[in-house]
Structure 1
Amino acid sequence: MRILVTGGTGLLGNNILRQLAADRPDHSLTALVRSQPKPQVFAGLDVSCAIGDLGDEETFSAIRQAVADCDVVIHSAALIHIGWQRMEESMRVNRDGTAMIVEACIEHDKPIVHIGTVDTLALGAREKPASETTRLNENGSATLCSYVASKRAGVDVVKSAVRRGLQALIIHPGFMLGPWDWKPSSGQMIVEVAKTWRPLAPSGGCSLCDARDVAAGTIAAMDAITQPRPTRPTDSPIKSGREYILAGENWTYFELWREIAKRTGARKPIMPAGPGQILIGEIAASMLSKISANEGVFNSAALEMSTQFHWYDSQRAHDELGYRIRDPSISLDDAVDWIQNRFPTQAGR
């Protein structure tokens, strides 16, 4: 099988490529990248690179050809900016880039596994984590920042294409940590907790999962959507357009930060931030954004997101895709070890 993976230099995409290379050496792997990555990103992997910039019409022909040359697409590429700025850029990549991939898949009759995010879904609660069917008005939804708005628009693109005949499954990962986080992406939280003591942790929570487990679940979705349609069981719940949450254990950020601090030797936070501290932080972040041309990670949208409970139930993926999660302590150990070895001066080693 010939597999095209977008976002192969990112945390999830790199783990997908590495699992495919290890478990299915007879498969042909291609990564769609904006430019040739540093050699270590694909070290040890037999991966070809196709050059194309999502959302850039000038490279659409190259993207179309990459899709034509594969049997299935795993679309993992995304621009992640938790803030109010960069909306146009986020839409160009996460919505318009997805549309490019989808149109090429329709043109060449190729199935796709699209990577969304739990943040496009309803929020959960400790007593009732959200599922794929939880209505947005039950517990509210994540702050409609550039990332959330553009990723939600990208999912809408895929759903619309399914109604036109596209064969697609949609994966919504939780908060992923793990090895092969080259930038780092979510591993930046480990860096921040390790290098700077903050007595107050964010007051919300996340559904902590291992990127390796999400990669395995994504590959299971790929197997399901590439099964020839005439041979699929008629009573199977797996239909084109079906969505799957691939999350993990639901933790507060206070719990997570203390576990990270324990592993990095950093001072632990004392307590979660209260409403007063959060309000002051949001006001300060909003003022900084207004006077700065470049919005940093400390902004009012990110602060608001950190007060929400992104807690989810992965039962559907467990039942239908065989999704399993490992002990989160193993995930944290491995993620911290990766970050400390990759970024030793920043992460406390």
Structure 2
Amino acid sequence: MVLLLGASGLLGHHVLRLLLERGQDVRVLLRPGSGLLPEAFPERQPQILHGSLLHYATLLRAAEGCEAIINCAGTTDMSLKRLDDYFPVNRDLPRLLCRVLDETGISTLVHTSTANTIAPGTREHPTDESAPFAAPFDRSFYAISKKDGEQVLLDHASEHPERRIVIVNPGFMLGPFDPKPSSGKLLLAACRRSLMAAPCGGKSFLHVRDAATAIANALQRGGSGRYLLTGEALTLPEFYALQAQVCGYRQRFIPLPSPLVRLAGRIGDLLRALGMRTMLCTRNTDQLLVEEWYDGSRARRELGLPQTPIAEAIRDFFAWRDSRSR
């Protein structure tokens, strides 16, 4: 039995589907009020518990009889205004999970962090897991909280070498089963627009199914430490050109000048100071100007991370949305 946290999110949904397809018994702990997409169940069904992820007794009860824990839960909302808003799930939950490991004797934990706790390199010289935490992400409340959560687990792993604490650091994940949408907002923002304006930064895109495969494989493969889960490194102009090609429309892309992007961030800072909730702020807009090039060779080698073309992730996202609208 595997305990899965965060099963209602995009990544957690794909991890759940994959584990069930592999015949794995899965127990999921869902926050009150959250649920699973009906498409989560191919043939088998998970055990479903409801309760707070931040309540130790609830976590302990959920972990009873399990051989491993996968944590895909995270607070990702970039409009939150305080660092403390991110800490409960991104830092304090890992602390609680360490206590659960101590109490239950469970020896395997797979934890999802983010590639942004690792400084990106260049297209010619992408960075690996040894790179430090650096600007502009060291100003991001989300990345700071995720980095703190990683450190909790790395310290625990060093104190308990008999346990496997696998931390995965995914890039920008895209794919189907994204009803909110979450990362799919990037796709919808430009879909079938004749004119698209955006910054010229870049991301390491990967199919969410590939990330889920590496996570599921980590139950048996890999060792303690961090694994970058990355796919195709594309600038936003390259990405939107690919999307237009995949979806069959013509689009003119206008690159937003860096000073204009920074000005938008400063306006967002002012709006936040006036009490308005917005994703715009310099901490967030500065990230849009960075090209996030990473080396995911360790995960490919040790966790069997697939490398599905990102065009397929784009195609899968829109095919799934179309199927739901019929």
Q: Does TM-score exceed 0.5, indicating one fold? A: yes
Structure 2 gaps, min length 5: none
Matched-pair contact (CA < 8 Å) for 1:143–1:304? no
Aligned residue pair count: 321
| CA displacement 1:37-78 (0-9 Å, x = unmatched) | 1562634450111223233xxx32111111222110011100
From 203, 219, 222, the equivalent of 1:222 is 219
Question: 1:322 aligned to 2:286?
Answer: no
Deviates more, 1:318-327 or 1:186-195: 186-195
Task: Show the counterpart of 1:48.
Answer: 47
Question: 1:147 aligned to 2:129?
Answer: no
Matched-pair contact (CA < 8 Å) for 2:71–2:110? yes
In structure 2, C-alpha distance between the alignment counterparts of 1:305 and 1:268, rounded to whole Å: 24
Task: Show the counterpart of 1:162.
Answer: 157
Task: Show the counterpart of 1:239.
Answer: 223
Task: Show the counterpart of 2:281.
Answer: 299
Matched-pair contact (CA < 8 Å) for 2:243–2:311? no
**1:286 Cα offset (Å):** 1.9
Deviates more, 1:276-285 or 1:69-78: 276-285
1:250-329 equivalences in 2 (<5 Å): 250-263=233-246, 268-294=251-277, 296-329=278-311
In structure 2, C-alpha distance between the alignment counterparts of 1:60 and 1:196, rounded to whole Å: 48
**1:175 Cα offset (Å):** 0.5
Task: Show the counterpart of 2:186.
Answer: 189
Residues 289 and 262 (structure 1), Cα distance of their counterparts in 2 relative to 1, 3 Å cut: farther
In structure 2, C-alpha distance between the alignment counterparts of 1:312 and 1:132, rounded to whole Å: 9
Question: 1:114 aligned to 2:111?
Answer: yes
For residue 310 of structure 1, give the secondary structure of its aligned residue in structure 2.
coil
For residue 207 of structure 1, give the secondary structure of its aligned residue in structure 2.
strand
Question: 1:94 aligned to 2:85?
Answer: no
Matched-pair contact (CA < 8 Å) for 1:6–1:74? yes
Between the two proteins, what is the percent identity of the paired residues?
A: 27
**1:340 Cα offset (Å):** 4.4
For residue 176 of structure 1, give the secondary structure of its aligned residue in structure 2.
strand
In structure 2, C-alpha distance between the alignment counterparts of 1:133 and 1:147, rounded to whole Å: 20
Supply the AA of the counterpart residue of 2:40: F
Supply the AA of the counterpart residue of 2:240: W
Question: 1:75 aligned to 2:71?
Answer: yes
Matched-pair contact (CA < 8 Å) for 2:30–2:52? yes
Provide the aligned C-alpha RMSD in A: 2.3
Residues 52 and 270 (structure 1), Cα distance of their counterparts in 2 relative to 1, 3 Å cut: same
For residue 46 of structure 1, give the secondary structure of its aligned residue in structure 2.
coil
Structure 1 gaps, min length 5: 225-237
> With structure 1 as the length reference, what TM-score do the two structures score?
0.84
For residue 222 of structure 1, give the secondary structure of its aligned residue in structure 2.
coil
